[in-house]
Amino acid sequence: MNNILELIQSTLEQFEYPVYYGRSFCKPQDDWNYFVFNRAYVSKSGKSNCDFNYYYQVHIIMEDYIPEGFEQEVINAIEESCRLKLVDTPMQFNYVTKNSTDMVVEMLTITFTKTVKGCKL
**Is 4 within 8 Å of 114 (Cβ atoms)?**
yes
19 or 24: which carries more pLDDT confidence?
19
Cα 6 from Cα 26, distance rounded (Å) = 20
Under CATH, which number does the domain 4-116 receive? 3.30.2000
18 or 50: which carries more pLDDT confidence?
18
- Using DSSP, state whether 74 is helix, strand or coil: helix
Q: Which of 103, 53, 55, 49 is nearest to 78 (CA)?
A: 55
Q: Say if residue 9's pLDDT is above 50.
A: yes
Domain ranges of the chain: 4-116
- Using DSSP, state whether 7 is helix, strand or coil: helix
Cα 29 from Cα 41, distance rounded (Å) = 33
Model pTM score:
0.90
29 or 20: which carries more pLDDT confidence?
20
Q: Say if residue 17's pLDDT is above 50.
A: yes
Predicted local confidence at residue 120, as pLDDT: 56
pLDDT by residue (tens digit) across 88-121? Answer: 999 999 999 988 789 999 999 999 999 888 765 4
Predicted local confidence at residue 118, as pLDDT: 73
Residues 6 or more apart in contact with residue 107 via CB below 8 angstroms: 59, 60, 61, 62, 93, 94, 95, 96
Taking the CA of residue 68 as centre, how many other CA atoms within 13 Å lie in the half-sphere pointing to its CB? 0
pLDDT by residue (tens digit) across 51-85? Answer: 889 999 999 999 999 999 999 999 999 999 999 99
Cα 113 from Cα 43, distance rounded (Å) = 10
